[in-house]
Amino acid sequence: MYQSDLKDAEWLIIKNYFNPSDKRGRKSKHDKKTIVDAILYVVKSGCQWRMMPKDFPPWKTVYDHFSRWNKAGVWECALDKLNEQYRHSKKKKGAQLCDY
């Protein structure tokens, strides 16, 4: 829906980082991909959390997930995995990653 949204293939690569390994407790009210897409929207657009479009989960829910994942190092792991996949795909195609 938004340019900042993850593609389905990208989500498949990193979704395990955002889903809890412990399945106890109540089921999440909002889809994790939707929350990640909302976070990416804020990062890409530069808007304030409270000014996110209303088709995303409530801003406080999105911010709480962002904060929790940030403190746990989830973002670093997920971005490292995406970078690894990107570099691997470029290497397979014979493209150079750097032009310097």
Q: In the predicted model, is pLDDT for residue 21 greater than 70?
A: no
What residues have CB less than 8 Å from 99, skipping those under 6 apart? none
Q: State which amino acid sits at residue 87.
A: R
- Two tokens at 36? 């990640």
- Two tokens at 84? 């690894």
Across all residues in the chain, what is the average pLDDT? 88
Q: In the predicted model, is pLDDT for residue 31 greater than 80?
A: yes
8 Å CB contact between 39 and 74: no
pLDDT digits (tens, 9 = 90+) for 41-79: 999 999 999 999 999 999 999 999 999 999 999 999 998
Please give the model's pTM, rounded to 2 decimal places: 0.82
pLDDT for the residue 46? 96
Q: In the predicted model, is pLDDT for residue 3 greater than 90?
A: yes
Angle between helices 8-18 and 32-45 (to 10 degrees): 110
Question: Residue 68: how many CB atoms within 10 A of its CB?
Answer: 10
User: Which is higher by pLDDT, 88 or 11?
Assistant: 11
Q: State which amino acid sits at residue 8.
A: D
pLDDT for the residue 95? 61
